[in-house]
Structure 1
Amino acid sequence: MLARTLWRRGGRLAWWGEAGARRLCASSPSTALAENNKHKTMEDLDGPGLLTSLYWLFVKGYFPIMHQMQIEHSKIYGPLWKSKFGPMVIVNVAGAELIEQVLRQEGRHPIRTDMPHWRTYRELRSHAFGPSRSEMGKEWQRIRSILNPRMLKPKHVSTYTNAINDVTTDFVKKVDWLRKTSGNGVMVNDLAGELYKFAFEGISSVLFETRLGCMNEVMPEETQKFIFSVGEMFRLSNLVVLFPKSLWPYLPAWKHFVAVWDHLFKVANDLVHKKMKEIQENVKEGKVVEGEYLTHLLVSEHMSVTEVLGSVTELLLAGVDTTSNTISWSLYHLAREPEIQEKLYQEVIGVCPGDKIPTSDDISNMPWLKAVVRETLRLYPVVPGNARITAENEVVVGGHLFPKKTLFHLCHYAVSYDEKIFPEAHSFQPQRWLRGEKQLNQHPFGSVPFGFGVRACLGRRVAELEMYLLLSRLMKHYEVRPDPSGKTVKALTRTLLVPGTHINLQFLDRKKH
């Protein structure tokens, strides 16, 4: 019996235990091909047809809560089923082990989906495809290899601390201003909306190395339009993709979709060319060219200006909702769980007493803070369902052999609420993520909010840094309490998982320590 085996990940060889070796061998493409006569096929899967899917979405009312439909369908059809949405046949995967099987069989150039509406827009306007959703294959790998180091390596990401802390300081001041002007001295209304502005300003300060005025008492009109366009793009994405591509030119939603993308690229283009002009002037005057992410991309010349524009635009979109929604939900639960909040407050002031502003180095000493964020991401995965297309090989998942080009829908939301993996799954328990306190049956693929492998979220490290720095600062300054009305906030699916109604919380001043 094979007790140990070697496997390769990220260019390193590592040991896998016996169970892991069995999983790997059982799911390898070569094994699948050799034993394909023993496997069931996609045709053997149960699941709703097109009319049934439409009935669930629009008659039973699951269109705004598609994440809940994952759970309901998994109860009916089991952890693996197929469904039809518009022109697409999708294989839904709602088990941690099954999700692991899909992700571990990815090829060298894994594909989330072909995002036909995003790609079609870029083809229409001759824009470069981006690294997040629209680019694929070897060209995607080339773009990611250029973008990855400054976005994923901790030593590079830590250099963004000062820029993010500047935005964080302004947000803490904004909270005080909001309390005084519209919250009777304590309330912050529509917290998610305010945090969206914070996240937008934070990621812009990293990507474009500039401030957009989101923290101003009165936000610039152009910035307001930019933020609105991002929200509209995600809302319309969910709608357009339900229709065949041949109908898009006749849909008002498609025309609006194109218009908001046009505006996003216009603003991004202005910011990129502003930075190029600044670099050129510094070179002309003999000054040292200094800067962060955008400067690095432009000066290195590994990418064309068109590719830089396409990439930073997608990165901007990926970096806002993760931060804003996760912090919103974290504060919502911390307000309802005073013991958990007090434990976090004591951890923060223990590491950063007095007026000390937390840095990336300090965050490494705050395990409870990281556990709070991780538990929030379990309860509210920013992307409730991710997708993969098997691009290179046939794969075996759950005893079924699937051909190349199969579209898998990974039901992360359903798996996050699996009681076998997360007992009392609907409760907010950050201790699940503390080292030494994890349940024995907690599967590593039970919650993968940033994805897995080479196609994992490119903005993960920056988003985490923003969340940690802001949450720790807010804990130092304020005690957060629930909305006195007692209103419960539920989540909605708008491509991403977002609060369905305003989150209103009380922010009370902390006593100085």
Structure 2
Amino acid sequence: MRYARVRLLADVKALTAPCRCSVTTTTQPVEAIQSTGGNNLMDIPGPGGIYNLPYFGFRLHFKPFSKYDMRLISEKYEAWKNKYGPIVRVRLGKPWGLYLFDPDDIEKVFRSDNKHPERLTLPLLSVYEKRQKIPPSLANANGEDWYAMRGPTQKIMLRPKAVTKYAPKISAIADDFVDSLKNSDRLENLPFKLMEYSAEGVGMLCFNTRLGCITSDNTVTPLMDYTKEYLDHLGNHLYSMIPTYMLYKSKFYKEFETAANFLYSEADKHINKALADLKQASENGLEHESNLLLDLLSTPGLTPAQVQRTITDVFIGGIDSTANTLTFLLFNLANNPDKQERLFQDIKEHVPKKGEIQEDTINKMPYLKACLKESFRTLFPIAGGTLRILDKDITLKGYNIPKGTPMQLCSGTICRDEQYFPQNDKFIPERWMRGEARTDVNPFAHLPFGFGPRKCIGQRFAEQEVYICAAKLLRNYRVVLPPGVTDIPYYYCIFATPKEPASFLLEKRQD
């Protein structure tokens, strides 16, 4: 979705949170508190007094010291913007950090990225990698280590044709998923049920194989169980817990380690099988069908160890964000039946109830793309946006910002700002359609996948998975909210996630 772990927010001190799906607050620009007349970092407005204490000061912004919940940090972002203006200075742990709420400033930061954009690592994952004596993952690496994996990989995964060739296979998986619902009038236990579909999709992408995750009787496979355990622990460690796992193998850490070991061994199993199949095909003079693993193995500049780490990252990380994104997209369409009906008419023209969706089919349905963009806008997939640490000084709003300053690019807050998105509390896919309600949207006001060298590497595949599943599901069913349901309460774990399992009613389409 940042296709799973590639887009994780990594500041354990500050950067994640929940909200409610129907809550979209209007923020009007306000006059910032005036600085002392200087133009340095310390002249930027922001909380003062005890909030400026190193380490502990940041915690005082949240419960039990204030009304703000750490897992509602997006509300705190909103309050800072309203009080201090478009650039806010906040003491994080030891360093000072900045929160940016102007898309022009965000563009300037992204344009200043160096060859190896730096961000903070995930402490739990770093501890696991150190104890397992394995190199950092693509999501957790920086510098040359990161670029050595990212450079060759993005040439494959960010090419449009690199993922569109999987469209017919992903549509077959979507058909199987829709078939699994035929004896039910409800789509329940979301996003977990949708993870069955996304797991099958990432298995096809990485290994060109089916994993057997889709069930019709709510059976939970070990793969799905451990995936949920892994992602839950990786997300939860970013919040208020004391990181005792850094000192010893706590119960929390052991649970994470067990899940991670299972998933890495599962990836290794499929990697070894794919390599064996490749060898056999080569010995017999046969062509072997392409998949991401084989594409990476044939890419100059990647060692077998780097390929293994990259493919494992994609395999594990390519499940959670897709399922959550689909859940909230379906909610927005169920909550706006007129938009769903317009989308259905578009889908009906191009998508069969059962059968292949070809590579170019999605491009014929711009309203489907607009619905996904608008769903991302109404509920930004990560708590705030991207975090950047530049290796050079930069000037923002007349202030000189020294290199090494953590900067939170608060895209989620901008997406709920009336200044940039009129009627921001409404689901209006037409705002993204040329010739309709479209306004001149600043391209740096809405960046759910990031931008630049470290943008979400799995964006194209993740979008394709969502488009195909949504198209197949809505071609066969009208999705309806259960009686009394008006929103889906959610929180941020890694991505925006329903607090409780969500469900929708399904009405079979006759046309």
TM-score greater than 0.5 by the shorter chain: yes
* Aligned residue among 158, 162, 174 for 1:156: 162
> CA contact under 8 A between 1:239 and 1:253: conserved in structure 2?
no
| Partner in structure 2 of residue 460 of structure 1 | 459
- 1:494-509 pair list within 5 angstroms: 494-509=493-508
Aligned partner of residue 443 in structure 2, secondary structure: coil
For residues 270 and 422 of structure 2, the distance between their equivalents in structure 1, rounded to whole angstroms, comes to 48
- Tell me if 1:65 matches 2:72: yes
Aligned partner of residue 492 in structure 1, secondary structure: strand
With over 3 angstroms needed to count, the CA separation of the structure-2 counterparts of 1:481 and 1:58, relative to structure 1, is same
| Partner in structure 2 of residue 429 of structure 1 | 428
With over 3 angstroms needed to count, the CA separation of the structure-2 counterparts of 1:56 and 1:502, relative to structure 1, is farther
- 1:229-244 pair list within 5 angstroms: 229-239=229-239
For residues 42 and 174 of structure 1, the distance between their equivalents in structure 2, rounded to whole angstroms, comes to 58
| Partner in structure 2 of residue 53 of structure 1 | 58
Between stretches 96-105 and 80-89, larger displacement belongs to 80-89
| Partner in structure 1 of residue 148 of structure 2 | 142
Between stretches 410-419 and 276-285, larger displacement belongs to 276-285
With over 3 angstroms needed to count, the CA separation of the structure-2 counterparts of 1:164 and 1:420, relative to structure 1, is same
- Tell me if 1:289 matches 2:288: yes
For residues 401 and 250 of structure 1, the distance between their equivalents in structure 2, rounded to whole angstroms, comes to 43
With over 3 angstroms needed to count, the CA separation of the structure-2 counterparts of 1:398 and 1:196, relative to structure 1, is farther
- Tell me if 1:39 matches 2:39: yes
Q: Structure 1 residue 320: deviation in Å? A: 2.1
For residues 168 and 495 of structure 1, the distance between their equivalents in structure 2, rounded to whole angstroms, comes to 25
With over 3 angstroms needed to count, the CA separation of the structure-2 counterparts of 1:348 and 1:136, relative to structure 1, is same
With over 3 angstroms needed to count, the CA separation of the structure-2 counterparts of 1:387 and 1:448, relative to structure 1, is closer
| Partner in structure 2 of residue 19 of structure 1 | none
| Partner in structure 1 of residue 105 of structure 2 | 98
Aligned partner of residue 287 in structure 1, secondary structure: coil
For residues 306 and 353 of structure 2, the distance between their equivalents in structure 1, rounded to whole angstroms, comes to 45
For residues 254 and 124 of structure 1, the distance between their equivalents in structure 2, rounded to whole angstroms, comes to 11
- Tell me if 1:171 matches 2:215: no
For residues 499 and 434 of structure 1, the distance between their equivalents in structure 2, rounded to whole angstroms, comes to 29
Between stretches 67-76 and 472-481, larger displacement belongs to 67-76
For residues 88 and 311 of structure 1, the distance between their equivalents in structure 2, rounded to whole angstroms, comes to 31
- Tell me if 1:130 matches 2:137: yes
Query: TM-score w.r.t. structure 1 length?
Result: 0.84
Q: Structure 1 residue 188: deviation in Å? A: 1.9
> CA contact under 8 A between 2:324 and 2:495: conserved in structure 1?
no
| Partner in structure 1 of residue 206 of structure 2 | 207
| Partner in structure 1 of residue 5 of structure 2 | none
For residues 42 and 251 of structure 1, the distance between their equivalents in structure 2, rounded to whole angstroms, comes to 39
Q: Deviations over 1:401-447 (max 9, x none)?
A: 22222111122211110110011212111011112346545221111
- 1:76-115 pair list within 5 angstroms: 76-86=83-93, 89-115=96-122
For residues 235 and 140 of structure 1, the distance between their equivalents in structure 2, rounded to whole angstroms, comes to 22
For residues 487 and 317 of structure 1, the distance between their equivalents in structure 2, rounded to whole angstroms, comes to 32
Q: Structure 1 residue 311: deviation in Å? A: 0.9
Q: Structure 1 residue 250: deviation in Å? A: 6.8
For residues 317 and 378 of structure 1, the distance between their equivalents in structure 2, rounded to whole angstroms, comes to 26
> CA contact under 8 A between 1:96 and 1:446: conserved in structure 2?
yes
> CA contact under 8 A between 2:245 and 2:253: conserved in structure 1?
no
| Partner in structure 2 of residue 442 of structure 1 | 441
Structure 2: runs of 5+ lacking an equivalent: 1-36
| Partner in structure 2 of residue 342 of structure 1 | 341
For residues 38 and 92 of structure 2, the distance between their equivalents in structure 1, rounded to whole angstroms, comes to 29
* Count of aligned residue pairs for this structure pair: 467
Q: Deviations over 1:206-248 (max 9, x none)?
A: 11322222102354642133322332233333138x7679954
For residues 193 and 61 of structure 2, the distance between their equivalents in structure 1, rounded to whole angstroms, comes to 33
Structure 1: runs of 5+ lacking an equivalent: 1-36, 180-185
For residues 424 and 433 of structure 2, the distance between their equivalents in structure 1, rounded to whole angstroms, comes to 16
Q: Structure 1 residue 251: deviation in Å? A: 5.2
For residues 225 and 187 of structure 1, the distance between their equivalents in structure 2, rounded to whole angstroms, comes to 22
> CA contact under 8 A between 1:282 and 1:288: conserved in structure 2?
yes
> CA contact under 8 A between 2:386 and 2:450: conserved in structure 1?
no
For residues 248 and 93 of structure 1, the distance between their equivalents in structure 2, rounded to whole angstroms, comes to 35
Percent identity reads: 24
For residues 229 and 154 of structure 1, the distance between their equivalents in structure 2, rounded to whole angstroms, comes to 32
Q: Deviations over 1:457-494 (max 9, x none)?
A: 00000011111111111121011111123252122111
Aligned partner of residue 102 in structure 1, secondary structure: helix
Aligned partner of residue 496 in structure 2, secondary structure: strand
What code does the residue aligned with 2:391 have?
A: E
For residues 245 and 101 of structure 1, the distance between their equivalents in structure 2, rounded to whole angstroms, comes to 38
| Partner in structure 2 of residue 386 of structure 1 | 385
Aligned partner of residue 361 in structure 2, secondary structure: helix
Between stretches 138-147 and 323-332, larger displacement belongs to 138-147
> CA contact under 8 A between 1:115 and 1:134: conserved in structure 2?
yes
Between stretches 251-260 and 61-70, larger displacement belongs to 251-260
Query: TM-score w.r.t. structure 2 length?
Result: 0.84
With over 3 angstroms needed to count, the CA separation of the structure-2 counterparts of 1:250 and 1:468, relative to structure 1, is closer
Q: Structure 1 residue 104: deviation in Å? A: 1.6
Q: Which has the higher contact order (CA 8 A, sep 6+)?
A: 2
What code does the residue aligned with 2:131 have?
A: L
What code does the residue aligned with 2:435 have?
A: G
For residues 342 and 220 of structure 1, the distance between their equivalents in structure 2, rounded to whole angstroms, comes to 33
| Partner in structure 2 of residue 13 of structure 1 | none
Aligned partner of residue 368 in structure 1, secondary structure: helix
Superposition CA RMSD, Å:
2.6
What code does the residue aligned with 2:119 have?
A: R
Aligned partner of residue 239 in structure 2, secondary structure: helix
> CA contact under 8 A between 2:180 and 2:214: conserved in structure 1?
yes
For residues 71 and 389 of structure 2, the distance between their equivalents in structure 1, rounded to whole angstroms, comes to 28
What code does the residue aligned with 1:425 have?
A: N
For residues 438 and 172 of structure 2, the distance between their equivalents in structure 1, rounded to whole angstroms, comes to 39
With over 3 angstroms needed to count, the CA separation of the structure-2 counterparts of 1:129 and 1:51, relative to structure 1, is closer
| Partner in structure 1 of residue 275 of structure 2 | 276
Q: Structure 1 residue 454: deviation in Å? A: 1.5
- Tell me if 1:376 matches 2:382: no
- Tell me if 1:224 matches 2:216: no
Aligned partner of residue 308 in structure 1, secondary structure: helix
| Partner in structure 2 of residue 33 of structure 1 | none
With over 3 angstroms needed to count, the CA separation of the structure-2 counterparts of 1:277 and 1:236, relative to structure 1, is farther
With over 3 angstroms needed to count, the CA separation of the structure-2 counterparts of 1:42 and 1:203, relative to structure 1, is farther
Aligned partner of residue 360 in structure 1, secondary structure: coil
- 1:389-400 pair list within 5 angstroms: 389-400=388-399
For residues 474 and 40 of structure 2, the distance between their equivalents in structure 1, rounded to whole angstroms, comes to 53
For residues 344 and 245 of structure 2, the distance between their equivalents in structure 1, rounded to whole angstroms, comes to 55
> CA contact under 8 A between 1:192 and 1:328: conserved in structure 2?
yes
